[in-house]
Amino acid sequence: MDHLGLDDFTRSIHYISNTIQENKGYLTKLDSFIGDGDHGSTIARGFTKVVEKIRKDKPESIAELLKDTGFTLVTSMGGASGPLFGTFFTEMSKEAEGKDVIGLRDFYAMISNALAKISRLGGAKPGDKTMIDSLGPAVKSLGVSLDKGQGIDRALKNMSIASKRGAASTKDMIAKKGRSRYHGKRSIGYQDAGATTIYLIINAIYKSISQKGKNEKINK
Ligand code: ADP
Ligand code: MG
């Protein structure tokens, strides 16, 4: 597989939504240790609305699909993280504008854009114990894969592994942004909820694309 099309991205959005619903309790638990315990329910609500929206609108391009997803997350999630998760998709959408298919180089540009915009918007740096800490390593890994000339499957797999490690690494960090920063050093020992969600999203993209057609539950 050299390119990703609208079908691939549509399958990814459904897969992400299912993954988020399945992990809702876990994400809320993570957010309750050092946050206000709403993350699982807000992100799950957001993706329920996303699926409703795309079922109704039936986007005709990758850019439109990602834009619909981002806008719906912003409007339905609210809070501090809604605009940040929404930005992840709306920024990817901008780079996908006018493209029927997405190659690895395009995907790298899309996800790099998302990281840059989220960093600007939220002001978090690597090591601040936020979603940046699982998104940053994913982007970096994709860049390495591109340089090495790896195929999309392999690149997405490596991206997922890097993101998982990044999410796990937040356990040892002191929170500097968001509500968890109020816990200071007491935030050590807990994995960041938002970083975990970004990993789940990235892993879902990898799984939905590499296991094309194998997951019958995707459209449940
Ligand atoms: P809220 O803090 O409004 O309750 P959520 O619980 O939905 O929002 O999300 C919390 C997550 O948002 C955190 O775990 C962290 O990953 C992410 N986050 C919070 N502030 C920032 C920021 N400034 N930059 C990047 N990510 C952030
Ligand atoms: Mg919260």
pLDDT of residue 216: 41
* Contact partners, residue 2, CB within 8 Å, separation at least 6: 103, 151, 152
* Average pLDDT, integer, range 74-78: 94
- pTM, 2 dp: 0.96
Q: Does domain 6-210 have CATH number 1.25.40.340?
A: yes
pLDDT at 220 over 60: no
Report pLDDT digits (tens) over 99-135: 999 999 999 999 999 999 999 999 999 999 999 999 9
* Ligand 2 center–CA 6 separation, angstroms: 32
Mean pLDDT of the chain: 94
Residue of 20, 133, 177, 200 with the most ligand 1 atoms within 8 Å of its CB, for mutation: 177
Ligand 1 pocket member 117 (CB < 6 A):
no
* Rounded Cα distance, 119 and 132, in Å: 7
Distance 29 CA to ligand 2 centre (A): 10
Q: What is the pLDDT of residue 217?
A: 43
